[in-house]
Amino acid sequence: MADNEIKNHVVAVRKNGDGDIIKLKLSDGNEVDYLVAQRLAAQGLIENVQLFKGRDGDQHLRSIPDGDKSNNLDNLPLF
């Protein structure tokens, strides 16, 4: 990826009935499911998010901690 290439960021999320994020809307307007978003984040194609290994042993996606709870994935607008 070229340094001048613009990365996407997450602007909204869709949750299932349990409140789990199942889909993410990116700044370019694309909607991607959670697993695709994980792959994109691992490739460095979505800014301000990272993968981490949860207590359950699975990989999860989260916003990079910055002390601002308003930009956490769980607090983003729903679509």
Taking the C-alpha atoms of residue 61 and residue 51, their distance in angstroms, rounded to an integer, is: 5
* SS3 (DSSP) at 2: coil
Task: Check residue 54 and give its pLDDT.
Answer: 94
Quick one: pLDDT at residue 25? 98
**pTM for the whole structure:** 0.86
**pLDDT by position in tens, the chain (length 79):** 455 567 899 999 999 999 999 999 999 999 999 999 999 999 999 999 999 999 999 999 999 989 999 989 999 999 9
Give the chain's largest Cα–Cα span. 39
Measure the CA–CA gap between 58 and 49, rounded to whole angstroms. 16
At 6 the pLDDT is 72
